[in-house]
Amino acid sequence: MNRIERFLVNSHLRSRCVARYAERMVAMIRPGRGTRLLDVGCGNGAATLWLARRFPVSITAIDLDPAQVRLACTAAGSSPAIRFLIADARRLPFSPGAFDIVWTNKTTHHIPQWQEAFREMVRVLRPGGHLIYCDFAGPKWLSSFLRRLGGDDFGWPVRGQLHALAGESGLEVVHLKPRMLNYEAIWRRGGDR
Ligand SMILES: C[S@@+](CC[C@H](N)C(=O)[O-])C[C@H]1O[C@@H](n2cnc3c(N)ncnc32)[C@H](O)[C@@H]1O
């Protein structure tokens, strides 16, 4: 992120909104005690910290940007229910099925190879687990336009590609709300548990 993005993303008002939004989304799953939740692209950790306060979950949160992870660690102090790591969403350092819930907000559009990140999120989800995905995603023409505008540093997922990828990955739709450019979905990974 550039300095302006960083300033906006870390603003108090936005952090508060993101935290409440995360709570509303995760509440749809009603996580039970001991649920293992992964926050992909956690930024300053505002949502992570809030989720750990509101639900009986243990949270691992990753971000590629060491400065954001530092901010998140400072804010978290020594909470035993949270661990922050510097990691790339395209190569998550976790074993298959390691999490019950994967939550990601406004992150994949920052990743040119966002499909790799999406597959990784599915890989680390246990069968029967939920992927809560929120990001900007539009039609193909808009994605191509935004990519030309923003350069190769951005991914700008395409809605049709997201649907196809979710289907190929064996995800079942639990909640789907595409609105304007924003796209929020909860998918359940097929399987027994
Ligand atoms: C717009 S911020 C969103 C942060 C947070 N999820 C929120 O909603 O406030 C996007 C975040 O994605 C992170 N990011 C970008 N590429 C990434 C990657 N390949 N792996 C992990 N995180 C990445 C950035 O460092 C940044 O913190």
pLDDT at residue 182 greater than cutoff 80: yes
Residue span of the structural domain in which 173 resides: 3-189
Confidence of residue 6 (pLDDT cuts 50, 70, 90): confident
State the chain's mean pLDDT as an integer.
94
* Percent of residues, the chain, with pLDDT higher than 90: 80
Q: Is 24 left (phi over 0), alpha (psi -120 to 50) or beta?
A: alpha
Whole-model pTM: value is 0.95
**Whether residue 39 has its Cβ less than 6 Å from ligand 1:** no
Mind listing the pLDDT tens digit for each residue in 79-102? 889 999 999 999 999 999 999 999
Task: Indicate which residue's Cα is closest to atom 27 of ligand 1.
Answer: 43
Q: What does the pLDDT read at residue 193?
A: 59
Listing DSSP states for 69-132 in one string gives HHHHHHHHTT-TTEEEEE--GGG--S-TT-EEEEEEES-GGG-TTHHHHHHHHHHTEEEEEEEE
Q: With a 6 A CB cut-off, is 105 part of the ligand 1 pocket? A: yes
Confidence of residue 70 (pLDDT cuts 50, 70, 90): very high
pLDDT of residue 78: 82
User: Would you state the pLDDT for residue 191?
Assistant: 82
Distance 70 CA to ligand 1 centre (A): 13
Mean pLDDT across 29-44 = 97
Region 155-177: mean pLDDT is 95
The predicted structure's pLDDT at residue 4: 85
Residue 8's CATH number: 3.40.50.150
**Number of folded domains that form the chain:** 1
What is the dihedral sign for C-alpha 34, 39, 44, 47?
Answer: negative
What is the pLDDT confidence band of residue 192, given thresholds at 50, 70 and 90? low
Which residue out of 15, 71, 110 has the highest number of ligand 1 atoms within 8 Å of its CB and is therefore the one to mutate? 110
Phi, psi of 163 (to 5 degrees): -60, -45
Tell me the pLDDT tens digit for each residue of 119-157: 999 999 999 999 999 999 989 998 888 888 877 788 999
Q: How far is the CA of 9 from the centre of ligand 1 (A)?
A: 10
How remote is the CA of residue 170 from the centroid of ligand 1, in Å? 25
Check residue 101 and give its pLDDT.
Answer: 98
143 lines ligand 1 (CB under 6 A): no
**Alpha-carbon distance values, 99 to 95, 124, 137, 152, 155 (Å):** 9, 6, 25, 31, 25
